[in-house]
A and B are shown apart, each in its own frame.
Chain A
Amino acid sequence: MALVTNGNSIKDILDMIDGLKEDAVAAQEVLVDIDLPSLRQIASGVIDRLGGSLQFVFAVDERPGSDGFSLHHVFGISARHCFLHVRSEVPTGSLEFPSLTPILPSANWHERKIADMHGLIPVDHPDPRRLVLHEDWPDGLSPLNYDFDASRPVPRVAGEYMFQRIEGEGIFEIPVGPVHAGIIEPGHFRFSSIGEKILYLELRLFYKYRGVERYLQGKSLLGGVLAAERISGDETVANAVAYCQAVERIAGIDIPERAKRLRAVLQELERIHCHLADIAGAATDVAFSAGAAKAAILRERVMAINETVSGSRFLRGVIVHGGLRRDIDNGASRGLLDFADASRNALNELKSSIFDRSSVLDRFERTGALSKSNAVDLAVVGPVARASGIPTDARIDYPYGFYELYPLEIAVRNDGDVAARVRIKFDEIERSLQIIEDALCDIQSGDICAKDTSLPSSGHGLGWAEAPRGLTLCWVEIGDDGRIVNCRWRTPSFNNWPALPYALEGDIVPDFPLVNKSFNLSYAGNDL
């Protein structure tokens, strides 16, 4: 459970965190209630003095039971292995809250999403345009407010998105999407270019906005698992684990050791197939078909293994709050170990076939370089952050499950370019194979699900996991009837998308698909 306290100055919070160092590590979520006017001061204090990063901002409509909206800022404090959850109330009758974007660029999309979802106004936000809801959505309808009827159609109104205009002699605008040339998800990209050189890229996403967070309201806990599995196909396990850990933390459930180990195996299998799809895509985008084919064959092997161990190629229907829904039997475990052993050679062969080729390196190196300072400012997570020199990984920063006691060494590189990101993915696949072997080699038979998964009472809490793309976070609130009252999601793609235009500075338009692929961002996970 979270530690709860009141504090209205950064000094209080620092004192509290210093004083509770040991407990804070155990709790991993420190909840602080503050007054809204001191938000900026506290946020800058947390960033400057605790080395935190703003990971997640969301609002909750507390009406009609209470007065107004509550605002939640979640800072990751990796040095202390905990999340600082800062909660404030938006005063009754007011819809305004101070924007953190002028001091913390990573708050940008979070605050615009809150504005769309709840009708709240981030004061002093430099970019007050819509984000999630497109311009044909009528004003005054806020899909996450209690008075919005999600079953009725919403009329379309006239409206046009105002793109940032770059003007001058010889400057062209290139519109791309939402329906793209390859088999990828929908999103619109607007390049302003001079010749081939990209001057500015504007992203317009959220074509896939399906109302996942609204859907989750009032669902059963099991319904929440099924929805979490379907937020983003290649993050099925990570999102399910994040959600289940939130529920388990609320209910105080300790899952059996076997379930912890098998969950780690499933997460690493997912990381391997996600990264391999990515490597295949990067090879395709530099017209290196032989490498792409090798990676695709290896990935297909992983998908077949997934089906053997779980009955689903995407490992769906295995994870549940309390542990697992189905066991991985000894035969499948042996198959997994054989696979891990046999894959190393294939992986090394693939790696050398890609990185020994000058035509590939010519495209990979110094392309799409994301600077460390930009990555820090935008709170970038996952392999993208690790390729830009930020040693962040939820499995180490905020350890959970099997990783609590596992001596994991993460791969970090400093170049920040496509080559660094692809190399990081190879390194991570190797480590994932090792984790699978270590988790399975001395696994004991036993229960796979906690016996008592009943909830003691209502409550709320954060859950997280290291998805293939980085830290995925969810916040769950459970009511007295044991059903979900509210659930909020922040998948890694939501943090990483805004960094993509910065990585493209100085690159040419034909490099965009490659850079985009090396970021490997989920549209579905971002749009929700």
Chain B
Amino acid sequence: MPVLKYRRICSPKPTIKNLDTLQEPTMAQWMPGLIGACCADCAHCRDICPTGAIAKDQSGELEFNYGSCIACRVCIDNCPSKALVALPSIYAATSRDDLSRTYVAGGRGSDTAEKEDHQPKGKSRAIKIFAKSMHVREVDCGSCNACELEIAATGNPIYDAERLGIHIVASPRHADALFVTGPVTRQMELALRKTDAATPTPKLIVAVGSCACSGGLFGNTSVAGAGVDQFVGIDLYIPGCPPSPQAILKNIIKLRG
């Protein structure tokens, strides 16, 4: 009997080559960053941001919270000194604090590498067992349905999440991971808790989209929560409005090693 050798495929490449000849997949979320010209420290971006994602901390540094950013690009369009640019990068993190980055206000923005360390501390062994096979249940807790469309797109022939062992299942009882979207509306809270309870451990819970990471535009009211981590423990935050299929897959692959 021949011995079968498995080689793990780690980078998501389109299985159908040259499909998007018009455009290279950019993995873009088009979130703002302070790279380029000098920031005049005018506070215009902080005032105009619809989700308060841009703030100034006590030491005078400009703090961008990518978990709250809805990638609307209003700050970029309205920056008087053109210091803000759209960054085609992915800022996923295993804790909500790591979704923030600081820049020195009034100066030239730093071009530091993104936080690469996605490895969770306590749960790493549990997550490693999903490296080759991960069954996923998706729970929508009040998104606008763009995140659903992008998660569904990870399964299409271009991204083909199944070749990475990522398989969407119909029941939380069959799931290793939950992908949760939306700020968690009051009327979905119970369903989310029940789905979480029905998922066997060890499990991985991923907040997909800025609403799930922070509440987004409509969150933090009497009818909608301020992110999924208010209700269940989160292992990975993938911000974006919505995060592209590449962003979702890349970060999942990074996390499970």
Contact = CB atoms under 8 A, between A and B. Distances in A.
Contact of A303 (B137, B151, B153): B153
B79 to A, nearest CB: 14
Contacts of B182: 208, 210
B148 A304 contact: no
Interface stretch (B37-45, B55-63, B103-111, B217-225): B217-225
A312 B172 CA distance: 32
B72 A316 contact: yes
Contacts of A210: 142, 182-183, 185, 218-219, 221, 223-224
A523 interface: yes
Interface stretch (B93-101, B113-121, B126-134, B187-195): B187-195
Interface stretch (B5-13, B15-23, B231-239): B15-23
B242 interface: yes
Interface string A205-224: 01111111011000000110
B95 to A, nearest CB: 25
A206 B187 contact: yes
Given A207-B187, A300-B153, A307-B23, A179 B172 contact: yes
If over half of B's interface residues share one DSSP class (helix, strand or loop), that class is named, otherwise mixed; here it is loop
Interface in A217-237: 222-223, 226-227, 229-234, 236
Interface string B200-229: 000000000000000011110111100000
B30 interface: yes
B241 A215 contact: no
Nearest to A206: B187
Given A183-B138, A184-B140, A317-B73, A223 B50 contact: yes
A336 B222 CA distance: 44
A13 to B, nearest CB: 38
Interface residues of B, number: 62
Contact of B144 (A178, A311, A524): A524
Contacts of B187: 134, 206-209
B124 interface: no
Nearest to B157: A293
Nearest to B74: A222
B253 interface: no
Interface in B138-179: 138-153, 155-158, 168, 170-172
B145 A215 contact: no
A11 interface: no
B157 A226 contact: no
A308 B242 contact: no
A143 B222 contact: yes
A300 B156 CA distance: 8
B241 A234 contact: no
B30 A227 contact: no
Nearest to A528: B218
A510 interface: no
Interface in A41-84: none
Given A208-B182, A524-B145, A150 B188 contact: no
10 contacts: A179-B172, A182-B170, A186-B139, A208-B143, A233-B149, A234-B149, A304-B23, A317-B72, A523-B140, A523-B145
Given A236-B146, A297-B157, A317-B72, 16 more contacts: A152-B222, A178-B191, A179-B191, A185-B148, A207-B142, A209-B142, A210-B185, A210-B224, A226-B72, A232-B145, A233-B146, A234-B146, A296-B158, A304-B25, A307-B28, A314-B242
Interface of B: 16, 19-20, 22-23, 25-26, 28, 30, 48, 50, 70-74, 77, 86, 137-153, 155-158, 168, 170-172, 182-183, 185-188, 191, 195, 216-219, 221-224, 241-242, 244
Interface of A: 134, 143, 149-154, 178-179, 181-186, 206-212, 214-215, 222-223, 226-227, 229-234, 236, 277, 280, 293, 296-297, 299-301, 303-305, 307-308, 311-314, 316-317, 325-326, 335, 338-339, 522-524
